[in-house]
Structure formats: structure tokens, C-alpha cells
Chains A and B, each alone.
Chain A
Amino acid sequence: MLEVRTFDTTSLGDRSYLVDDGEVAVVIDPQRDIDRFLAAADERGVRITHVLETHVHNDYVSGGLDLARRAGATYVLSADEQLAFDHHGVRDGDVVESGHIALRVLHTPGHTPHHLSYELRDGDTTVGVFTGGSLLYGAVGRPDLISPAMTDELAHAQYRSANRIAEELPAQTPIHPTHGFGSHCASVTEDILRDGTIADEQQRNPVLTLSEDDFIEELLGGLHPWPAYYAHMGPANAKGPEPLDVSAPRALDVDELRRHLDDGHWVIDLRSRRAYAKRHVRGTVNVELRDDLPTYLGWVFPWDSPLVLLADNAEDITEAQVMLARIGIDHPSGAATGTPDDWAGDDDGLTAFTVVDWNDLAEREAAGDEPFVLDVREEWEFDASHHPRAVNIPFYELPDRMGELPDADVWVYCGTGGRTAVACSLLERAGRGTVMIDDFALPGDTPWEDAAEALAG
């Protein structure tokens, strides 16, 4: 009897898997923090013999090479990938065997050209399929991450790959995808789906219910922008990532921190946006320590800048280091813990945001004042509904588009407040006046109208 254990990485919306037969184990698509896979194998009393990748990942730095070396396991990838390290290359039809575990290789291009899926067999019985970024729950892995020139070809390939999986394997086969739990690698899903069989997908997944042409049109029309850091992941994974190192960064004193700020380095304050808004060191950037951290920071961070982390305590620094190392942002130049007063040394370096809500804006507008309103959400959210005078610059485009803003104070809003705090701190860092609208603007909602109506009574 084979056991399949799932490992969620919610900050990236990805899953990894460990399969064992009671004696030996294989790991599929491990994240870079590999201790959890080693611990799980220890707990089950099994030896990891193989580490397999479904594809060279574009949304995270793989822990596969490190795990294979640490466990003395065989590292399995597509034979067609160009990689800078030794590995066991496999092709369609090959079978990887370990104890009672057998994995049949299916070439399923679409998310990437050399993408593989692995049919899991226990003897002659199919008991699952690891689909990576191919057939997901209610969606597929997006085909536009490799290059614009290849997107159309990969989209068609994805349709054929997903349908091949569904046709070749028994309907009751459980699907174990890597992407699709919030990952930007997935095409959009409306529902929260955490499990499914091929039969389930035949009911609900457009790739299996629509014609090829209709599916391609829906898929390519529904893709949102992907985080800028993705561009760095493929090369890092092909080169062979270093083992994870989250030893404590150098503890900075007030003078050292000041020098980092003066030199224009990125100093990230990880505290909650509410605390940051009340009091923070001028010149820092607020990216809250939460699941969105790697996506938000990875999207705006200039890859060659030194990075400094600020947080309430050392545990938060370590947690952020793990989350950031998963996308290859390694080795911060330094860190400091405590409060903004500890970091600034004196009051001169400290500042706060003016925080308002939709009612405050409505009052200003009713009084005949029309402050400049900036919507830093993604275009699809802006298109769903936006403040009537708002200009849309997604937060990640802000560093390059500051020139489009007037000299006046910029009133900033997003969906729930996190991206607003990133944007306000970037604006303040660039020497601009900001007002933080710490309120909600969910797609389709019009809270500015509700506020204006309430005011009009």
C-alpha cells in the first residue's frame, strides 16, 4: 500500500509530495526548504531513493538537487532539459522504480516544453498521477511563462497533454498537481479546489469540457500578469540552486542601518501595515510578513540591490528569510529587530502615514476638493470597478512610472490594504506625499459610492 503525503507551500500556492511504500520513498517537486521532507521520511522510517521534478520551475527555486544530494537519492528530470548538474534524464514511457513504487513518465508539454507527468503505480494498479503544471484542479498550468513567441504553441500542447492524461488513465485516478492553490503558475480558478480525480476534472475543467479552440481562447484571454521574479527562477533552477541557508543575518546598529538607507539599499519593514502606518523609518519599504510577501517583494525588488530586513523579533526575520529564499532572495545584508525608535536612533528619521477611509475621501470630495487617487491593483481588478477619478498603476509598475504622477499628495488604495502600504512606502521613499486609504475595494464593489451616498444622507 503506497502512502502519498502532501506538503502545502501556501505563500506560493504550490504543493510537493512524498510517496512511500513503508521502506523507500520518492519526493516530487520539493520546495527549497527540504527539512520538512527529510523529517517526514524519518517519521515514516523510510529512505528517500528518488527526487523527481515535473519541470524546471518558474515560480520557485527548487530544493530537488539539495535533497537528492542530502538523501543520496537519484535526481530525475526530463532528459531534454539543459542543466548544469548531473541528473538522471527520463523520457516518455520510461518507468522509475523504487521498492513497490513505480512512476511511468508521460511527456506533457504545455506549462513548459519538456514538462513531465508521472503516473503512480502500485504493481499493475494506477493509484495517482503527479501532474505538476499540466492538468490542475479546475485549471491548467499557464503556458505563457517561457516566452511570448511560444505561448500559442504551448497552449495547444497543454490542451493535448491534459486530454491525453484524462484519456490514458482510469477515471478514478486521483490527481496530484504542483500548482493551483493560489499560484500565479495556474490559469484562473473561481472555486477553492483542493482535490480531485480525472472524473472530477471531466466534469469541471474547461481543458476537458471545451473544444480545443474554445479552450485556447478562454485560457489566453484570462491570464493575468505574472510576478517579475519568475524571470530569475528558470535560470537558477537550471544552474543548480545552493542549499538553503537561513542563518541569522548580521545584526545592524543604527549607524549601519542609516548607511544602508543613504546608499539606496532596500530596507524592508515586515511589520503589519497598521503598525507601519503609525510609525516607521523614512526610506524603508513596507511589505507585510504574510503569504503575499514573496510575490509582492519579488515583484518590485531590484534583484541586484542589497536587502535589509526589519521586524518585531528574530522569529519573524527567520520566517521571512525562508519565504524569500524559496524564490532565490538569499543572504540579506543585515537585519534589525525591535521598534522604529530603536532603528532610527532619533525622531528625525521617523515618520507616519496619513490614514483615511472611503468616508474621509467622500467628505473631501463633497467639500469640493479632488485629491489625486491612485489605484495600485492589477488591471483586471481595476476593470471590474474603480473610483471614478482613479488612475491605475499596479503597485509593481510604480517604481518605473513615478513620472506619471502629479506633485500633489497621492491618495492610494488597493483591494484590502497590503499593496497600498507597499505603494505608499515606495512613493514616500521617492520623496512624494501620500495618503493611505486603508479600506476595502473588492472587484466589482463601489465603496466610494456607498460613502458618498451615506454622506448625502
Chain B
Amino acid sequence: MADITMTIDTSGMACPMPIVKTKLAINKLESGQVLELISTDRGSKTDVPAWCESTGNPLISEEERDSKFVYLIEKA
């Protein structure tokens, strides 16, 4: 299990704010640190992996927990 440096919850935010918040959070991290991103929106299952691929920040894991989607993203 990776050490989580920061956690953000974007539940309820309208597009594009969940990805905007993700970007701002990643910008605050050092290379190798890990962001935990929580969302209740199933749309995040499309957006988060696509954003990670587009920006080159590795998506370490994605899982569904208590009807929430939880992502671990490592800063490149």
C-alpha cells in the first residue's frame, strides 16, 4: 500500500471541477508522492484514468468502496 500524502474528495462537483481540483492537488505534491482522490460520481471512472494517461501521472489503483470511487495517483 502506497503512503498517501494528500486526500481530496470531489463528490458533488460539476465538471470540470473534479479534474481541476485533482490537477491543483497533484501540483502541490513532489514527484513520487501519492494523491488519494475520492468521488461518488461514476463518471470519474472515465475521467480519472484518462487524465492520468494524458498527463503521465501513474494511476496506481482504482477501487469501489461503500459506493465511493477511490483512486491513488502518483505524481510523475
A residues whose Cβ falls under 8 Å from a Cβ of B: 8, 10-11, 13, 181-184, 192, 194, 272-274, 288-292, 295, 357, 377, 381, 414-419, 438-440, 442-443
Which A residues lie within 8 Å of B5 (CB)?
none
What total of chain B residues lie within 8 Å of the partner, measured CB to CB?
23
A446-B21 Cα distance, complex, nearest whole Å: 17
Q: Does B41 belong to the interface (CB within 8 Å)? A: yes
Given contacts A10-B41, A442-B20, contact A417 B50 (CB under 8 A): yes
Instruction: Give 8 CB contacts A-B under 8 Å.
Output: A10-B11, A13-B14, A181-B11, A192-B21, A290-B41, A417-B47, A440-B19, A442-B16
Given contacts A273-B46, A381-B16, A442-B23, contact A291 B40 (CB under 8 A): yes
Q: Which residue of B lies closest to A419 (CB)?
A: B15
B15 in contact with A415 (CB, 8 Å): yes
Main secondary structure of the interface of A (DSSP, over half): loop
Per-residue 0/1 for B54-72: is the Cβ within 8 Å of any A Cβ (1 yes, 0 no)?
1000000000000000000
B residues whose Cβ falls under 8 Å from a Cβ of A: 8-17, 19-21, 23, 40-43, 46-47, 50-51, 54
A292 in contact with B14 (CB, 8 Å): yes
A272 in contact with B14 (CB, 8 Å): no
Of the residues B14, B16, B23, B42, contact of A289 by C-beta under 8 Å: B42
A35, chain B: closest CB distance, angstroms: 16
B9 in contact with A192 (CB, 8 Å): yes
B15 in contact with A292 (CB, 8 Å): yes
A384, chain B: closest CB distance, angstroms: 10
A8 in contact with B46 (CB, 8 Å): no
A345, chain B: closest CB distance, angstroms: 28
Of the residues B10, B11, B19, B40, contact of A442 by C-beta under 8 Å: B19
B13, chain A: closest CB distance, angstroms: 4
B14 in contact with A184 (CB, 8 Å): yes
Q: Which residue of B lies closest to A275 (CB)?
A: B46
Given contacts A272-B46, A274-B46, A292-B43, contact A10 B12 (CB under 8 A): yes
A416 in contact with B51 (CB, 8 Å): yes
Of the residues B10, B15, B42, contact of A416 by C-beta under 8 Å: B15
Q: Which residue of A lies closest to B23 (CB)?
A: A442
Which A residues lie within 8 Å of B50 (CB)?
416-417, 438, 440
Which B residues lie within 8 Å of A11 (CB)?
41
A196, chain B: closest CB distance, angstroms: 15
A98, chain B: closest CB distance, angstroms: 30
B76, chain A: closest CB distance, angstroms: 15
A357-B46 Cα distance, complex, nearest whole Å: 16
A419-B12 Cα distance, complex, nearest whole Å: 17
A417-B40 Cα distance, complex, nearest whole Å: 19
Which B residues lie within 8 Å of A290 (CB)?
41-43, 46
B58, chain A: closest CB distance, angstroms: 17
Given contacts A181-B12, A182-B12, A440-B54, contact A10 B40 (CB under 8 A): yes
B13 in contact with A192 (CB, 8 Å): yes
Which B residues lie within 8 Å of A181 (CB)?
11-13
Q: Which residue of B lies closest to A441 (CB)?
A: B16
B20 in contact with A443 (CB, 8 Å): yes
A220-B76 Cα distance, complex, nearest whole Å: 40
B17, chain A: closest CB distance, angstroms: 7
Given contacts A291-B41, A416-B19, A442-B19, contact A13 B46 (CB under 8 A): no
A443-B19 Cα distance, complex, nearest whole Å: 10
